[in-house]
Amino acid sequence: IKEAYKNILKDSGGIDILINNAGLFVKSSLEEIDEDLIRKIFSINVFAPIILTKLFSRNMKENKWGRIFNIGSSSAYNGGELTSLYCSSKHALLGFSRSMSKELHDYKIRVCNISPSSIKTNMGKIPLSTYQDFNTFLDPDEIAEVVVFLSSFDSTMEFKEIALNRFDIQ
């Protein structure tokens, strides 16, 4: 992460918009969880966004403007069988986002946690239950459109949490 940060600073001088979108999902029972799995999931889902936010917000603070989007999950609000590590990591990201929204507010840096429901990705193909239908999942482009839309608002616009779900009515 730090090497990528240095290269970006060298090439562009900094960034105005940070999108923390990496995520790791593993289904595991309590008995299957070990310390390595905990570290792996939290390293990607929580620690990386915290480190990236810390590094890239420096330049945003100097410029008195920035946007940070943490792509969470609706799982941050719900628990699920065999998904305790994923749910707890996304809940941690939500808490971090809420705190950063307040901490960075005076610098005109807006932090938003976007919590989509299931998305049409390879990760979304991991079945959670028999009632889920991959065809009804959100398209990744829809999430990107929300980020672009929210990025377009000026510094007085407040946005902190967005939950995205698709419901097919028949």
Q: Which residues of 82-118 are buried (b: 16+ CB within 10 A; e: fewer)?
A: ebbbbbbbbbbbbebbeebbeebeebbbbbbbbbbbb
Q: What do you get for the CA distance between the two ends of the chain, in Å?
A: 46
Q: For CA atoms 118, 123, 128, 130, give the dihedral sign.
A: positive
Determine which one of 77, 86, 107, 131 is catalytic. 86
Q: Annotated catalytic, 86?
A: yes
Residues designated as active site: 86
